[in-house]
Structure 1
Amino acid sequence: MSRLFPKQIVAPKPLHEMIDYSGKRNGRPFDVETETHTPQGKYTCVHYGVMIPNLPAPFNFLNLLTVVGQPRVKIFRNEHLIKTSSIDTANVLIGTAIGTKDYFNGYSVKNDCALVSNGSSLCFGRDLVLEGTYPNFHAYREGHEFNFDLKITATDKVANFAELTFGLYNHWALLCQYEGYLEYQGKKTHVEGLCTYEYARAIDINLHMNYFTYHILNIDEKTQVLLVEVLGPLNLVLQRRVYIRAIDDHGSIHSEDFKLEVHEFESQRSITPNGLSMRLPRTFSWSVNDEKGKLLMCVDGLANGDFQYGMAGGYAGSYQYKGTFRGQTIEGTGYIEYLDTRTK
């Protein structure tokens, strides 16, 4: 059964643009001078991530999601991991559908990590190494039940999710191609395709968010679609966009008649280690129109039941989808992040 929430409030467009400049940045090539530093100066929290949808079973998806320095934002903060201080606490999610017991861990930045200040080499305990500079990156993990070795080549196609005034918060995602292998219980599986390489940085303020979801769909060998919906207090719409980009296209963003509805939730509530309570989606649909008011894309999704905790303070998983994109039939395995603390 679908669930109803309070009416959503959309802030006037000029107000959005005064607070967040990211909409004006999209469609431009990635600036190679963009910083990817670890926490420093006014920035007390940074995020590095690699997200891969549409993997073969039993994996379904892979995300390498790191947070260095715990954010003030309640729904993204892992308070239970802090042993010394917020800025000394990092966490890493190695998320796939197989869900090994060591997929999520916390670390002391000082004692457990080796992080080069410009972000060119990041080592989190014995769990993850993410290294390289634009456009060539390398992610690997060894000595575990689940391991991988992936070469990642970034394009200049970038989705700018947030660029808040006064540099309060920045977040972007590069369209990348990857190739390598996943290893589970000693068996290696060759993989290749499209993924994202992401970076975010924030100062130590509490941005009030009650709901967040992020989807990645690889439509074909060249084209990738991203969906973001973020709601604040009183269901204020902070962002609602579908980003489209391709190997040979800097892409566009769309929000015309955006609709996302959960039709059925999982029967049991999920309680995070930090005490947040939420229901995760089981079946859902979403759609968006183009600038002429015609249907651009619609998707019906069925969650694979593989949500893993550690997407900051929420969950990441995958879903099977069918739908249409620019009039053509599509299907595949999408990637989803989900976090919802609204009463329901």
Structure 2
Amino acid sequence: MDTFLDTRDFLAPPSPPLIDSRRRPHGLRGLRSHLMGKAAELLLRPVKPSVRPAPPAPLIFPPNGGSCRFGLTHYGVTISNLPDPHQFLACRAIIGNAGMRAFDTDFAAQPGDGPLRTATLVHGTAAAVDGHFTRYSIPQDVELRDDGSLLRFGNELLLAGRYPDFQLKSRRAGFAVDLRLHATGDITWLAKGPLFDHIVLVTRYRGRIEHEGTSIGVAGLCTYEYARGSSPYLLYNRFLPKAAKLPWDVLSYHVIDLDAETQLLLSHVQFDGHPTTYAHLRILGECAHRLDADVHFRVLSLQSEPAVAPDGSTMPLPRQFIWTLRDTQGNDLFVIEGTVDTPMLFGVGTGYVGGYRWEGMRGAEPISGRGYIEYVDQRR
């Protein structure tokens, strides 16, 4: 009997290895990655542990970034620990595009709009998954007040207010949210530079979530986030081909409420394979800064099937992962082992948001709870 080999077995590119923040490319590829990573640090400017930047003055969050040098703005509200069946709440609005692999959503643009006149929204919970992703033509579908005090995305979502008080209100078939948000005054800068910055407010929320006719009252700790970045599309409002986009390939961002007063933010990014990983501890009224720590992020296993985006592209998503944080003397600060146990919703750039259960240690103390994850993997 003749045996025929499928040439696709030879032509298909190998899958990238599981993400490990300690893995770095070698040889010429490693040198290029190192140089690109250093350039990215100059661009993204992650805030160092010893630095405590002042809040922006005035404390407003304009949708155009407040300057002609910005071509992307991002607003987010994150709740990491909701009652069943919701588990988490994600609200991530992106206005414009930045020419980066991880975030450009070329398919979302209406004819004639281009990257700068396109907005996307992912909004949902573990239960409210239908219709969680929406794309908008900014001239036709979006209302933006210059100072950021009112953002309206079609008939689906309103984010309004001025610091320190905001409102998130949304409605679509079978799902509605009405939350009042109050910033506590604890502010974290994830990044702060001339071309990109990202600020996260510690925020308390109270309100109601309705799903399929059942309404529940909710209250607790959340984040209100604002980021802005420059964009090559300011020069020419047409999407770059994928090969020409800036090689920000990987993002994994987590929000964990350790207790009613304490929040942990965990971030891992890769720029052309060069990893940067850091953690921010936020204790109400005490601190909201980056930890001076060795932070290690590792994906342990993937979900059985890759996720499929609205444009048909696929992405492997994590099932299990671990974060390890050690101080400068090598002592464990935190160990967080997570297992994703909710649907992952498309729409944070080209990536996904979801929720997970976790257990671990804070020093010598066992801890457990729920977390929120954003995950993008555009490695080639």
Q: How far apart are the structure 2 equivalents of 1:250 and 1:207?
A: 34
* Matched AA of 1:232: F
Pairs within 5 Å for 1:117-196: 117-142=146-171, 144-164=173-193, 167-196=194-223
- Among 103, 114, 123, the residue aligned to 1:85: 114
Q: How far apart are the structure 2 equivalents of 1:62 and 1:127?
A: 15
Mark the CA change 1:188 to 1:32 in structure 2 (over 3 Å): closer, same or farther.
farther
SS of 1:110 mapped into structure 2: helix
Q: How far apart are the structure 1 equivalents of 2:119 and 2:79?
A: 22
- Structure 2 match to 1:332: 369
- Among 354, 358, 370, the residue aligned to 1:317: 354
Deviation track 1:265-297 (CA, whole Å, cap 9, x = no partner) reads 012122333454321111111110123321000
Report the more deviating stretch, 280-289 or 264-273. 264-273
- Structure 2 match to 1:57: 84
Contact 2:129/2:345 (<8 A) preserved: no
Mark the CA change 1:16 to 1:141 in structure 2 (over 3 Å): closer, same or farther.
closer
Q: How far apart are the structure 1 equivalents of 2:52 and 2:151?
A: 29
- Structure 2 match to 1:285: 322
Deviation track 1:205-237 (CA, whole Å, cap 9, x = no partner) reads 35421111000000000000000000111x212
Residue 96 (1) aligns with residue 125 (2):
yes
How far is the alpha carbon of 1:72 from its aligned partner? 1.4
Deviation track 1:56-104 (CA, whole Å, cap 9, x = no partner) reads 1111110111011122112211111111221111111112111432211
Q: How far apart are the structure 2 equivalents of 1:105 and 1:288?
A: 36
Residue 253 (1) aligns with residue 278 (2):
no
Report the more deviating stretch, 224-233 or 243-252. 243-252
Q: How far apart are the structure 1 equivalents of 2:141 and 2:50?
A: 36
Contact 2:19/2:299 (<8 A) preserved: no
- Structure 2 match to 1:295: 332
* Matched AA of 1:332: G
Contact 1:30/1:156 (<8 A) preserved: no
SS of 2:84 mapped into structure 1: coil
How far is the alpha carbon of 1:192 from its aligned partner? 0.8
Q: How far apart are the structure 2 equivalents of 1:25 and 1:119?
A: 30
- Structure 2 match to 1:211: 250
Contact 1:17/1:23 (<8 A) preserved: no
Q: How far apart are the structure 2 equivalents of 1:16 and 1:294?
A: 30
Contact 2:47/2:290 (<8 A) preserved: no
Q: How far apart are the structure 1 equivalents of 2:263 and 2:299?
A: 23
Mark the CA change 1:201 to 1:301 in structure 2 (over 3 Å): closer, same or farther.
same
| Alignment RMSD (CA, Å) | 2.4
Q: How far apart are the structure 1 equivalents of 2:185 and 2:54?
A: 5
Gaps in structure 2 of 5+ consecutive residues: 1-15, 26-32, 233-244
How far is the alpha carbon of 1:26 from its aligned partner? 5.0
Higher share in strand: 1
How far is the alpha carbon of 1:172 from its aligned partner? 1.4
- Structure 2 match to 1:76: 103
- Structure 1 match to 2:259: 220
Q: How far apart are the structure 1 equivalents of 2:39 and 2:108?
A: 36
Contact 1:114/1:122 (<8 A) preserved: yes
* Matched AA of 1:134: Y
SS of 1:87 mapped into structure 2: helix
* Matched AA of 2:322: S
Deviation track 1:101-138 (CA, whole Å, cap 9, x = no partner) reads 22111111111111101110000001110001111111
- Structure 1 match to 2:227: 200
Deviation track 1:170-221 (CA, whole Å, cap 9, x = no partner) reads 1111111111111111211111111100001111135421111000000000
TM-score, normalised via structure 1 length? 0.90
Contact 1:29/1:250 (<8 A) preserved: no
Q: How far apart are the structure 1 equivalents of 2:178 and 2:150?
A: 15
* Matched AA of 2:263: Q
Residue 30 (1) aligns with residue 55 (2):
yes
Q: How far apart are the structure 2 equivalents of 1:21 and 1:75?
A: 18
